[in-house]
Chains A and B, each alone.
Chain A
Amino acid sequence: MANDHIDITVEPGEVHALLGENGAGKSTLMNQLYGLLQPDEGEILVDGEPKVFRSPRDAIAAGIGMVHQHFMLVPVFTVAENIALGAEEVRGGPLGWLDRRRSRRDVLETSKRYGLPVDPDALVENLPVGSQQRVEIVKALTRDVDLLILDEPTAVLTPQETDELLAVMRSLAETGKSIVFITHKLREVKAIADRITVIRRGRTVATASPDTSTDELAALMVGRDVSLEVTKTPSDPGREVLKVSGLIVDDDRGTRAVDRVDLVVRSGEVLGIAGVQGNGQTELVEAIMGLRESRAGLIELEDKNLAGRTTKQVLRAGVGYVPEDRSLDGVVKDFTVAENLVLDIYDQAPFGNGFKLNPGPIADSARERVSQFDIRTSSPQSTVGTLSGGNQQKVVVAREMSRPLKLLIAAQPTRGVDVGSIEFIHNQIIHERDVGTAVLVVSSELDEVLGLADRIAVMYRGRILAIVSPDTPREEIGLLMAGVVTREAEDTE
């Protein structure tokens, strides 16, 4: 059961934040409002009238619009075409032709009325993520909605874009629209929401006002007191472990993703890479791991060149890797917890000898890791797909940190992970640093980088724009993430 007797009321002109961890049931609830799922019990009232939504079409007709976490846009269509899609203006009967001019005019009108500038003729694939999101919002507004649902809208935005979005939400609310803002980021909730509904394990646990403290909200969300701050001692950097110089890497489409990057990670320190997703962080990490070929440049692990090595050789050289896409790259969901815990060391003693597996040691070690890393599973023999996101991530972390490491690379280590597990994973990363491992953390969540890193490299369009200390003001790092280099930032470097 994803939703268990939830009550929620949204007033007109209100920004209502729906706060909850991943898997708490926020999206399930909103998908029912939007007609994508049907409730088993209970009813939905719009302006006091009970409604049944069999499909999003019904929901839109009732004045409910939704902007999904993953945009539902056709990349090769123009903005106007995307907005018209599903409600095309047709002239000359049901088999008539598309009235492009009118859809274009509608778009311009809506965008002007709500102060949301979009270019109707631009191809969606050429737009930055923030603008694509704006297109989604305009699309919902052209359908004349009264209630707009935004599902995790800030996950892909820079801090500046986030601020802009919050301003847009505020102004929409002022015109009388209601907004449901789904998120798990407490800072944004406090900044914008008029009312906050906290959901935990499919139940409404509280309705709070925005002046509730962050710690209280977090406790409501998780169900116990959590510390959101990463507690750590000052770092004690030692020798250079990873040295990247002049690295150039292309992405799958052949465009330059990493452009002459130089980096040094020392033992006993955490180097954080901040940046909006899609600025070359993925390709940088994949190149280091031997998953992607580099065009030029050196990758050295303690003076041994890693470029051109296979992934297996890189792992064997003492590199631990927490990939950013857990369900795709991190775990094999159909495998058991025990099998996933040896996914990259199954052919090493004592788990196997390259020819056969040794089920005994695999099971023993799995039991040990499950208790050591607090992996909540009914048994080490359950398949990983049955675990929550946080526990799946703990399986990855447990696997990578269970062997002697020189370098740990953690990409988006807490994406889609519940707050309780975030705390645990962060502590594990700091622990790894404290025993002298060099740690490279890549995250698009600025708070995470600020909390974990001893030095922060800001990446923009494939380049490291600056390396700054974590005490640098958020705004300044935010500007760097958007590609704006200020004088102070350059000085720090």
Chain B
Amino acid sequence: MTTEAPEAPKAPAKKEEKEESFFGLFLHNLWSANTVTVTILSIFLALVIGAVLIVVSDSAVLSTFSYFTARPSDALNASWDLISRAYADLFKGAIFDPAAVQAWFSGTGDWKTALNPLSETLTYAAPLVFTGLSVALAFRGGLFNIGAQGQAVIGCVTAGVAGFAIGLPAGLHLIVALAAGLIGGALWGFVPGLLKARTGAHEVITTIMLNYTATLFLGWLILQNGVQDPDRTDAVSKTIESTAALPGLPAPLRVHLGIVLAVLATAGVAWLINRSSFGFELRAVGVNPPAARTAGMSVARTYIMLMVVAGGLAGLGGAVQVLGTADRLTGQVAGNIGFDGLLVALLGRNKPWGTLFAAILYGGLRAGGNLMQVDVGVSLELVTVLQALIVIFIAAPALVKSIFQLRDARTARLGTSMAKGW
């Protein structure tokens, strides 16, 4: 009761405020601690801390600080120069490079160079959308799917094997390979789902263990006869057939159909959560299992189904990675897409469209980070640090709120929403 009390008088107050300027009202809402504001400020804070790290990690700039008291302008100019170049590269590598776009318009460059940054961003984002959706969906049903990584790895394996081991006409082959990824991931999700439903084994523990199992299985598999590339001695599989590859834009652009599938998957998951009977069940089970049980829903069945669907999504993410970006299986083919999916889901507040945007943000940071590393020499690890900082600030909205003295809004929910998984 007490928490609702301050909200109650809002309705009449709003009418009075209409008398005030519309702009004032807009500012008021902008500066209250709502989800969007906290997210944007978290990114900003992360960039500020990142700037400090860039300066500290560059020995040349750092040396100018040794005579800071004598000539502060040296240190400040050098720092500013480095930070602005690094962040400009982050932007150019992720979205577009004004010079390349200008060259394209004036006819000296081509459209491929101009679009390359966006292409890179979307290439990195595509698998993250799937793994992010996997985590977000499971979370809405009250399960903490740490196993997106393992499910994605198995998705890579099944899709990859289907891609080079069977011969089918173009189109059909792609569909079969994608389906293989989906089924592989779904199976890998089914196991912890079943264990949870039947024995109550906590999904965090079982999925972590299955992550190891999946990664080690991949490492073993690519050294086997029939899988390993016969022309190579290292742990690399055969190349998947071109008939199974996701079609994309002409080289050097790497973006492929995967990002379109990712948008479709987002729409599908949004529909599933909000409009389907299964979504109704999973949301009810997610927030109040006893009430769901009392209303006649089968909590056990919902958990199993949920893990199957979540696993399938992560498996598709693996399939998109292997059929679109990589063209063969290696030990590192899945990279970190499953674990990054956890962070992407957190950043997207476990909402499907939010997850899509968060994945694109992550893809952008990664793509921009590549350029930053090449151009300014700032390590790619900085991007990882930035991603981590953003997540930390988002997970601790009270911190952001107090730093910026934001008005109280609905922040209490942000913090609790993630803490609940444990």
Contacts and interface: CB of A to CB of B under 8 A. Distances in A.
A485 B219 CA distance: 74
B20 interface: no
A343 B284 contact: yes
Interface string A29-73: 000000000000000000000000000000000000000000000
Interface stretch (B31-39, B97-105, B275-283, B318-326): B275-283
Contact of A311 (B284, B287, B293): B293
A100 to B, nearest CB: 38
- Chain A binding surface, main DSSP class: loop
B251 interface: no
A346 interface: yes
A221 B198 CA distance: 50
Nearest to A356: B276
Interface in A318-356: 321, 323, 325, 328-335, 339, 343-344, 346-347, 352-356
Nearest to B8: A1
B12 interface: no
Contacts of A325: 290
Nearest to A388: B1
Contacts of B5: 1-2
A315 interface: yes
A361 interface: no
Contacts of B296: 310-312, 314-316, 344
Interface in A428-485: none
A2 B291 contact: no
Contacts of B1: 2, 23, 28
A351 B354 CA distance: 28
A326 to B, nearest CB: 9
A353 B296 CA distance: 16
B391 interface: no
B19 interface: no
Contacts of B278: 355
A329 B279 CA distance: 19
A75 interface: no
Most buried by A among B2, B287, B288: B288
A314 B293 CA distance: 12
Contacts of A28: 1-2
A335 B283 contact: yes
B361 to A, nearest CB: 27
A386 interface: yes
Contacts of B290: 325, 328-329
A263 to B, nearest CB: 21
Interface in A83-102: none
In the complex, which range does the number of interface residues on chain B fall in? Answer: 20 to 34
B275 A386 contact: no
B291 A291 contact: no
Nearest to B285: A332
Contacts of A355: 276-278
Nearest to A348: B277
A442 B283 CA distance: 30
A328 B280 contact: no
B297 interface: yes
B351 to A, nearest CB: 14
Nearest to B294: A329
Contacts of B288: 328, 331-334
Contacts of A346: 277, 280
A424 B288 CA distance: 27
Contact of A343 (B276, B295, B298): B295
Given A1-B5, A291-B294, A332-B292, A352 B277 contact: yes
Nearest to A311: B296
Interface in B295-322: 295-298
A359 interface: yes
B298 A339 contact: no
A477 B164 CA distance: 79
A202 B394 CA distance: 37
Contacts of A339: 280
A334 B287 contact: yes
Contacts of A334: 283, 287-288
A192 interface: no
Interface in B67-110: none
B287 A333 contact: yes
Contacts of A2: 1-2, 5
Contacts of A155: none
B118 to A, nearest CB: 35
B16 interface: no
B4 interface: yes
Interface centre among A2, A311, A343 (most CB of B within 10 A): A343
A181 B89 CA distance: 70
A357 interface: yes
Contacts of B298: 310, 312
Nearest to A344: B295
Interface string A78-119: 000000000000000000000000000000000000000000
27 contacts: A2-B1, A23-B1, A310-B298, A311-B293, A311-B294, A312-B296, A312-B298, A314-B296, A315-B295, A315-B296, A328-B290, A328-B291, A329-B291, A329-B293, A330-B291, A330-B294, A332-B283, A332-B287, A334-B283, A339-B280, A343-B291, A344-B295, A344-B296, A355-B277, A356-B277, A357-B275, A357-B279
Give me the 10 closest cross-chain CB pairs, A-B, nearest first. Answer: A312-B296, A344-B295, A329-B294, A343-B295, A311-B296, A332-B288, A334-B287, A315-B296, A347-B277, A1-B5
Given A1-B5, A2-B2, A328-B291, 5 more contacts: A289-B294, A311-B293, A332-B291, A343-B284, A346-B277
